[in-house]
Amino acid sequence: MKKYFGTDGIRGTVGEYPITADFMLKLGWATGKVFAEKGKGKVLIGKDTRISGYMFEAALEAGLSSAGIDINMLGPMPTPAIAYLTRTFGAQAGIVISASHNPYQDNGIKFFSADGAKLDDEIESSIEKTLELDFATVQSSAIGKVVRINDAAGRYIEFCKSTYKSAHKLKGLKIVVDCANGATYHIAPNVFQELGAKVIAISNKPDGLNINEKCGSTHPQNLVAEVVAQQADLGIAFDGDGDRVVMVDHTGAVVDGDELLYIIASSKFSPASAWRGVVGTQMSNLGLELALRDKGIDIVRAKVGDRYVMAELQSKGWIYGGESSGHIICLDMTTTGDGIVAVLQVLAAMQNQGKSLAEIKRGMTKFPQVMINVKMPKRELLAHSSAIAAALKDAESRLGSRGRVLLRPSGTEPLVRVMVEGEDAALVAILANQLADVVRQQVG
């Protein structure tokens, strides 16, 4: 068990250890020492738009340079952009200062390796061990140099455009883009506009405090209203760091990550494809599983979290995976989940088939799904309760083969998530509430 690193870097509330300026200084130094041992090379630093990013950017810069590491500063950039630029600049690593879809009061640190993937556990463990050592600055002649990269946004925009594989550009499409007041604010509208679309950008004026605030992929209500009001062809909503996305069709219906994954995989698959399936998660809708299998595409469910989706993709040698939240991985295009790249694959499928978003998603029918969060101070009670086991078995029996039940302890909060899905919405709601009541009685 690592002390600081979780499944997606280090994250928490600003001002509460370890999300403090002094810790970030030491983290930059420890990271620099670990990479300095691997040879002279630079590290990239990018961030989203939350106000604390300035503070942590400066602290990491000081720590890295004191360990003898050269630094390229990227400024506000989407997380997947930093993965891409780490590779293209030949850097040893990339650092992202972001708390993704969390509010501005939170922040965190993510790392990418030289090949644009998440850091190996071994390197994370080495950084944690180095954090226990006393801080010491290299000789003045060896202090790392800092360079700001002024064309980072343009480089990433061109990369994104290169992943759009269609003879038909986006001319004639009217698109509303919700940037969540986050890192895509100066990137995403330009990508779609330069490909020919008429773009209406909303939530694209970050002030350091409004990132993800009632906007973006976790709050698509504003996007729905704007798409309908503007009579747009579709809408696109990113999260604060741009690695998640959901869409809205012209009727105002939200198209989530499961549906986007279905559209991408089904449009790319053929009997001659080297890959035979996609990776979803425990939370992926049963409708996705059934729709893919109707197309001859297998699906494997990983634990919730892009790290686990990626691990399963690599194990299987497959290309496409994702989560209901809109974190979509297209390994034929890039090395990590990328909201803009994922949307471009959907738009290419629409243009190639001459279909609207509402039409192209019709091959998948989402099953009614209810999820209830139950406070659970002691998660071990979940596995040892015979009453919960009996209630779970009863719910599964009543749903049969066309339904699912899942009890999943949260990885970040003292909660258990009770999820039930099936064809009968009324039965799903009844069973979810009954099971949640049993869980409350047992773990309260």
Per DSSP, the residues of 11-41 read EEETTSTTSSHHHHHHHHHHHHHHHHTT-S-
Whether 348 and 164 have beta carbons less than 8 Å apart is answered as yes
State how far the alpha carbon of 241 is from the alpha carbons of 257, 270, 359, 393, in Å. Answer: 16, 33, 29, 40
Q: Which helix (H) or strand (E) holds 351?
A: helix 339-353
Phi-psi region of 139 (alpha: psi -120 to 50; beta: other; left: phi over 0): beta
* Number of neighbouring beta carbons within 10 Å of residue 403: 22
3-state secondary structure of 377: coil
Count each helix (H run) and each strand (E run) in the chain, helices first.
Answer: 15, 18
Whether 302 and 279 have beta carbons less than 8 Å apart is answered as yes
Among 101, 134, 140, smallest CA distance to 11 is for 101
Tokens of 404: 């699912």
Residues 6+ apart with CB under 8 A from 25: 59, 60, 62, 63, 135
Q: Which helix (H) or strand (E) holds 87?
A: helix 79-88
Q: What backbone torsions phi and psi does residue 73 show, to the nearest 5 degrees?
A: -95, 130
Measured in Å, how far apart are the chain's first and last C-alpha atoms? Answer: 27
Among 264, 246, 413, smallest CA distance to 331 is for 264
Whether 302 and 7 have beta carbons less than 8 Å apart is answered as no
Rounded-to-integer distance, Cα 224 and Cα 414, Å: 32
Strand order in the sheet with 146-148: 10-13, 106-113, 93-97, 42-47, 70-76, 146-148
State how far the alpha carbon of 77 is from the alpha carbons of 66, 155, 216, 221, in Å. Answer: 25, 11, 16, 25
**Residue 113 bridge partners (DSSP):** 93
Is 100 a catalytic site residue?
Answer: yes
Catalytic choice (52, 66, 100, 113): 100
Whether 251 and 358 have beta carbons less than 8 Å apart is answered as yes
Annotated catalytic sites, by residue?
A: 100
